[in-house]
Amino acid sequence: MARRGRFRPRRVPSRTGDRNVTGILVLQSVISGLMIGAIYGLLGVGFSLVWGAMKVINIAHAAFAVLGAYLAYFLLKAFGVDPVLGFFVILPFLFFGGMVVYRFLIFPVMRARDIVVSSMVLTFGCAIVIENFISLIGSPDPRVFTTRYTGRAFFLGPFAFQWPQTVGALMALAGMAVLYVFLKKTHTGKALRASWQQPEAARLYGINLRRISMIAFGLAVASAGLGGIAMGFVYSFDPHTHNLWLIYIFLVVILGGVGNVLGTALAGLLIGLLNGLSLAFFPYQWVNVITFGMLILILLVRPAGLFRSEV
C-alpha cells in the first residue's frame, strides 16, 4: 500500500515580486549613475571655468586629473596616506602648479589673434608632456586605489552603497560646493565672474584680470586633481586615461553651458544617470552608444545646451 504524503502546493512565481526586484535594480542603477555623474560634474566645472573666464580650451585638463590620481596613488603606496587626506597634500602643488602653467604658457597665448585655437594646440602639447611624464615616473599599467574600505559596502534599505564609490561621489559634491560658494560669495569669485562677463568694465573698476585669471586657472587644475582622485575610487586609471575622460568633460560642459558652473554640475549628473540606466537594461558595449545618442538628440533640440551659457 502506497504511503500517503502531505500535499505540497507548487509555488507559482509572483509577478509582483519580480516587478519589485526589477524596480530595486533600476533604482540601484540610478543611484550608481548619479554618483558617477557627480564626478563628471566636478571634472567639467574646472574646464568650464577656464573656458568661460579666459576663452581658453584646456585640453590638458583631464591629464591634470590623471596626474592628481597618480600623486594620490603614490602617497597611498609609499606612505599609506588615504587618497582623501592625500588630496590636501596634493592641493597646494596642483594649485600653484596651475598658476605657474598659466603665467608662463597660457598668458602669452592669450595675446594671440585666435585664443581658442592657440590654447587648444598649446594645451594638447601639455597633455602629451604630462602623459609621458606619468609613464616615465610610473608605468603604463592600470592603477587602482586599494584602501581599507575597498570592497566594502553599506546598506540603506534594499540599496547597497559601495564605500569607494560613495567616498568619490562625496568628494566630488564637496568640490563643486566649494567652487560654487567661492564664485558666488567671495570677493575674488565675484571679480572673476565680472571679468568674464564684462572684461573692460571690470578693468575700469580696478580688477587685475591677469591675477584673477591666474587664480582661476590654479583652481581649475586643483579641481581637476580632485576629480581625478574621485574617479580613481571608481575606475582604474593609466597615463592614457585622460583621453576618455576628456570626451566626457566636453560633453558635460557643452550640455551644461560654457561658464555655467551649476549647469555643468547638473549636466554631469544627467550623463551619469544616462550611463546608469543604460547599464540596467543593455550590455556594457551599448552604454556609450546610447549615452552619446541621447545627448545628440538633446543638442539637436537645444543646440546651446540645457542651461544658459554664461559667456
Tens digit of each residue's pLDDT (9 = 90 or more) over 218-239:
999 999 999 999 999 999 999 9
Q: What per-residue confidence (pLDDT) applies to 119?
A: 94
Domain boundary assignment for the chain:
42-139+158-301
Q: How does 45-72 read in b/e, with b if 16+ C-beta sit within 10 Å?
A: bbbbbbbbbbbbbbbbbbbbbbbbbbbb
Contact indicator for 45, 248 with CB cutoff of 8 Å: no
Q: What per-residue confidence (pLDDT) applies to 311?
A: 53
pLDDT tier at 308, thresholds 50, 70, 90: low
Contact indicator for 166, 35 with CB cutoff of 8 Å: yes
Q: What per-residue confidence (pLDDT) applies to 295?
A: 77
Gap between the terminal Cα atoms of the chain: 91
Distances (CA, A) of 159 to 134, 235, 283: 38, 21, 22
Spell out the residues 6+ positions from residue 200 whose beta carbon is closer than 8 angstroms to its own. Answer: none
pTM recorded for the entire structure: 0.89
Residue 166: HSE in the Cβ half-sphere, 13 Å Cα cutoff? 13
Distances (CA, A) of 126 to 72, 105, 198: 21, 9, 29
Spell out the residues 6+ positions from residue 236 whose beta carbon is closer than 8 angstroms to its own. Answer: 142, 143, 144
- pLDDT (mean) for 242-271: 89
Of 70, 62, 215, 63, which is closest to residue 141 (Cα–Cα)?
Answer: 70
Q: Is the pLDDT of residue 188 over 70?
A: yes
> What is the rounded CA–CA span in Å between residue 283 and residue 279?
6
- State the DSSP code for 252: H
Tens digit of each residue's pLDDT (9 = 90 or more) over 64-123:
999 999 999 999 999 999 999 999 999 999 999 999 999 999 999 988 888 899 999 999
